[in-house]
Structure 1
Amino acid sequence: MIITPLKETFLQVLITLMPVFLFLLCADKTVRGARRYTVLGLFCSISLILSMGLSYRYLNMAFDFRILPIVLGIMYGGYRIGLLTTFLYIASYVLFFPESMPWGIFSDVAFYLIPLAFLFMKKFQLAQPRMKMYIASNLIMCGIATYTMLYCYDLWTGAAVVQFDALLFMAVYGIFFMLTSYLVVFLIENILEKLSLQEQLQAMSSQYDQEAQKLKQLIDATPLCVVSVDRDGYITAINGMMLKTMKDGGMFKEEDLLGKPCEVLSHLQNTDVNLSQIRRCLNGEGAGTELINMNGRLFISSAYGIRNHETGEVVGAVNMAHDITELQMLRTELGNMERLSLVGRMAASITHEIRNPMAVVRGFVQLIKEKSPATLHEYYRIIMEELDRANSIINDFLSLAQNRIVEKERGHLHDMINDLSPLLWADANLRGQSIELKLDPGIPQLLLNSKEIKQLILNLARNGMEAMESKGVLTIETRRENETVYLLVRDTGEGIAKDKLDKMFEPFYTTKAKGTGLGLSLCLSIVERHQGKIVVESEEGKGTTFIVSFHQQEAGQKTEIYEFEGSSA
């Protein structure tokens, strides 16, 4: 009966489809690239062994689907898996079909089937799915042709007779064989295509995540406050600068605000201006640029609509705000400096003209004093002292305001201190004070303007003396650390309050009853012209220390520095 061999043929179909099911189960993230073809070739080898082991005989011939796993195992698996499949085929043939040795093995291994599979392997692997099915079906047709030739040989030799059942079975067997070959190749290629698309999708998703992270880091690093919303006004992104700027923004993380309505920003930002910009953009209107005040700081805010490239429909909006508080302050300060510079130039011109009549007045006061009675000499002394003090103030002011070229030459700081020592000791003795010098012998020569540095030392020393009572000690110290030379002027006075330290170098600011507030401003100007720094340290009840630092420059260097009006202010 033909029913029994048909059942066996159906079993062979299932065995041949087994590599497809196994490959589908294993083709996950752990099996990628070339490894998939290796695994597929191994599954075909298993199918080959089962197919030959469950082979059945009909019309004195062995029927099975061994050709399919052999061909697919070689062409999908490559040379190594192909050699393994060939070895397993030979072993299975010896085990299951010893009676047909050696001609069966020779015909398949050496004559047509396996050599043709190796021959078309590269072309098969590089071909498109349709071409793969064509190549595989042609090789399988060779196997069917072999079976047909063997049956015709049996008919010719009389080993078999023409029977309707036999012809029907051969036709059904061939149809099953061809359909199975097409189905197996189709399913394998379909799985491989889906896996390839899945890998491409994962690669694109990974690349998208990386680019999204880069974009997020870029937005977080930018000094702009950025927030974006979707078409319904729900927050889709917000950067760290916006969180830092918002009132109570430090209490929230980005995740806490994503997906929330943009109205939640109204409370956190303490403003509703940029929300109105976002709403206008979502309505398709141009929002433009506005100045807004957010939590006491000034921002320039801009909003833009996000549109679909194809339809032009508004799908969201983004708002960006730039903090211009410091810029506005700098602009205001620059305007003040320009006005002060103009006032300084005018005042310098006026004070210069005042000095001449003051000199004339002083001369005539001296003449009048000589011809006046002794009882009036004290009044003339007071007049001349006040004229001298006014002239000193004018000199300090001109030092700050006038233009001149300042030349620096290499000299030693200690020489300038020693030149001033007699004058400083004389002042200290009159006040009942003492001076202590701590000069570091390792101090190198520096590029200095001798006249200005002496004025700097004299101003700082006299400030310290005026801040002390009798028996006070003024210390002048030099020190070297790496490439920096320090000049320290320390007094033992009452010290300066902390709230006044920041204003010590401002022009016209003074803590003295008769001070002009120009002495320390002049000191700052001198230090800055020497590319140095000056700081003040003070503690109430323990005294004050002025620290001047100079950077050591290369030997033989000589520079010219231009002093501009108002530079010290």
Structure 2
Amino acid sequence: MGKPPCEFLEYSSAELIEMLSEQQGMTFKVKKIDGRFIHTFCSGRLLSKIGLTPQEVTGKELKDFYPADIAAHKESFYRDAWHGKEGIIYESVFHGVFYLVSLQPVKRFGKVVEVIASCVDITELKSREQELRETKELLESLYESSVDGICIMDTDGKVIRINHAFEKIYGWSEGELLGKQAPMFPAHLENRFEEIFKHLHNEKVIHFETVRPRKDGETIHVFLTLSPIKDAKDDIIAITGITRDISEQKKSEDFYRKADKLNAVGQLAAGLAHEIRNPLTSLRGFLQIMQSGRVNKEEYFDIMLSEIDRINSIVNEFLVIARPYQTSFQKQNLVRILQSVVTLLEAQAALNNIEIRMEVEARIPLVECSEMEIKQVFVNVLKNAIEAMPHGGVIRIIALLQESGVLIRFIDQGVGIGENQFPRLGEPFFTTKEKGTGLGLMMCYKIIGDHKGEININSALHEGTTFDIILPLTDGS
């Protein structure tokens, strides 16, 4: 048998009151008695959070536990609810606790007899709102104070918003650009937004330099960064374009580039003057001796011709390095070029008691290059190796395929190069040979550089030198 109805109602009422007291929020009831709004019930954990107890609220008016100004403000909502207005919601704060209040009038026979309120704690929500507000204000400050131009575009590349720096860089105001194509895209990208979106989705960001016109017609160098703005589904909904004006940087680079060129020209001129002045001084001295008539003129002819040939050699090497011409690259067999160079210099090597040994891999592919220029490099390197071995020995030439390209390695047993001389290798007129000009190695660096290759030199005094030439492979090699 169950409990009698009265006992059941008493049990249910007690259970309900206990449940309301354990709720995270707060519930209270209000009645209008003698023109005053009196709280007839109040329960919930939120009540203790705001520093009140049921005893301090029940049977009391708002002004009994709230400051007068707050009480007056809240009472206006009570009044509206008592007059039958539904769906009243307002925020309140007390002792640092924020809560949301919802008032609902209870009617009997069409007349409001009491107002029931339900409250929830929104302190955490308010804290997050404050954090978001502060973050937004910070981002807004960074956006507006950035020295880089920032442009937000829709998926068609049309301007949604720009900052002050963007206006300053390009000259257009935000009002002039809203809804129009952003002026920072070069022509070849203006109608390729699908490709841009695809790239941004995969790579997250795009960087590039370009030249763009300002509103006044002036062109500027800019560095652009494009990045996506995505929604919760990872779909791109907008694009952020950041512009950095690098016009001054480009001017500085151009200035220093020209200064470097002038410096290089000065060094070359000084070196050329020094190298040519020596044989010219000798020629002048011999001519003066011959002019005096004190000696037989013919005995100096060979020496003078030798000095003239030296001047001619220096000038010719300069012309080879400096002349502007288009090099014709074709697929060439490097091994065949090497063998022809070895054949050419084998006799000179034999006269110096030097043996040349070739070690070639069987799978060396053809390489796109200029046969004449590469042959010239090989001749220079092999001649240097021969001249560096006055007491004879063995020169090994190794050709093998590497991941980075084809490696041609010359290994001699010569006098070697001192560590302090390495930084100057390839400079004009710097040489370790008694009668060298340094122009041959400089020319080698230039030719291999034009072929997008590398030159690496390792050497030790009295132990020999290893000279590596790496030529890159082209697609399909």
TM-score, scaled relative to structure 1: 0.41
* TM-score normalised by structure 2 residue count: 0.49
| Greater strand content | 2
Which structure exhibits the higher relative contact order, with contacts defined as CA atoms closer than 8 Å and separated by 6 or more residues?
1
Task: Decide which structure has the larger Cα Rg and report it.
Answer: 1
